[in-house]
Amino acid sequence: MHIQANFPITHLNTFNIETKTRYYVEVSRQSDIHVLRSDLKLASLPWVIMGDGSNILFTKDIAGVVIRCSYDKIKIVKQDQDGIWLSVGAGVNWHQLVEYTVKNDWWGLENLAYIPGTVGAAPVQNIGAYGTEARDTITRIQALNLYDGHRVEFRNAECEFGYRTSIFKQQYANRLLVHRVTFRLRKLHAGQANLVYEPLRLYLQDKQKNEITPQDVFDAVVHLRKERLPDPKFHGNAGSFFQNPIVSADYFEQMQQEHGEIPHHKMLDGLYKIPAAWLIEQAGAKGMRLGQVAVSEKHALVLINLGHAQGQEIVDLAHRVQDEVMHKFGLRLEPEVNIL
């Protein structure tokens, strides 16, 4: 463990915002927390948990301690005829984990391929794509309390998973550092492809469903994401900037009466999820530019850094987009990205 002062973290946020933190430290063991807390200067400062910064927008330098979990072990902890229980360190790259599982012909994570970030960030945000969410395969999470270093464990039902949220993003934000995540995956013969997302189903329509492998789904998802989303290596971004709004059945019917057919996903609880990208396009905000930032022409849900933008410029553009959607549809888009 090495504590670094006045540390630049531009490379640790996919928006590529130039920023730094007063102190930066990577931890891999429970004992590291005790050591850090014994330093009175560090203990008196606010602590901010980070992964790979793929869901963060910095608007200023961090005046405290940025802490990142670097524990990167992958271990099979249990298996039976149909399933595999995999314990994964929070510091493992998420996409590399998905690659590892599909190469072993295990079902469960293939729809979540090519999502940037770390394993530790996946349950915090309850990442989701193509009809799958992280919570679908997570059985338990071990985390470290940043105040006393104690290890705490949560079963799936205790994590309060919701749409792009969890207990770790809400009441335990910057208090519990995810250390290990256990996933239950299915062996090849015991699972099947999740093709509820229409573009994915159409991409694989030439294959019989019982012939599709996890690798097939993985390859399709990677292709679709590369085709639809701008690469942060060229234009800094954090993927989807806004959440897809969820409305009541009555409000959805009222919207359709005013605006015609609206794409949607009817949820099990009777509510309707509406694609935020469609709302932004219909409001005329796709391609909108403000200084060094813009709404991507490739995907309206992505705000991009065109050069050397400041974080506040991206916030200002987000407000413009929210205003346009509110004016046309009466809906307020909520950010999916954490703004610091």
The CATH number of whichever domain residue 138 belongs to comes to 3.30.465.10
On whether both 80 and 146 belong to a single domain, the answer is yes
139 within some domain? yes
Distances (CA, A) of 225 to 106, 129, 148, 313: 21, 10, 41, 26
pLDDT tens figures, 211-265 = 899 999 999 999 999 988 888 878 889 888 999 999 999 999 999 898 989 988 8
On whether both 185 and 309 belong to a single domain, the answer is no
pLDDT range class, residue 134, cuts 50, 70, 90 = very high
Tell me how far apart the alpha carbons of residues 140 and 159 are, in angstroms, rounded to a whole number.
9
In the chain, what percentage of residues exceed pLDDT 90?
Answer: 76
pLDDT for the residue 320: 96
Distances (CA, A) of 5 to 8, 9, 24: 9, 11, 6
On whether both 259 and 329 belong to a single domain, the answer is yes
238 within some domain? no
Tell me how far apart the alpha carbons of residues 322 and 331 are, in angstroms, rounded to a whole number.
8
pLDDT for the residue 139: 98
239 within some domain? no
pLDDT for the residue 132: 94
On whether both 100 and 223 belong to a single domain, the answer is yes
186 within some domain? yes
237 within some domain? no
pLDDT range class, residue 89, cuts 50, 70, 90 = very high
Average pLDDT value for residue range 137-146: 97
pLDDT range class, residue 266, cuts 50, 70, 90 = confident
Range of the domain at 198: 74-228
163 within some domain? yes
- pTM reported for the whole predicted model: 0.86
On whether both 115 and 37 belong to a single domain, the answer is no
pLDDT for the residue 1: 77
On whether both 33 and 108 belong to a single domain, the answer is no
13 within some domain? yes
Active site residues: 164, 240, 336
pLDDT tens figures, 289-318 = 999 999 999 899 999 999 889 999 999 999
On whether both 98 and 222 belong to a single domain, the answer is yes
208 within some domain? yes
Average pLDDT value for residue range 192-221: 91
On whether both 171 and 105 belong to a single domain, the answer is yes
pLDDT for the residue 208: 81
Average pLDDT value for residue range 307-336: 94
Neighbours of 329 (CB within 10 A): 19
pLDDT range class, residue 199, cuts 50, 70, 90 = confident
- What is the chain's mean pLDDT, rounded? 93
Is 124 within 8 Å of 132 (Cβ atoms)? no
Is 51 within 8 Å of 338 (Cβ atoms)? no
Check which CATH number belongs to the domain holding 290 and give it.
Answer: 3.90.78.10
pLDDT range class, residue 197, cuts 50, 70, 90 = confident
Number of domains the chain contains: 3
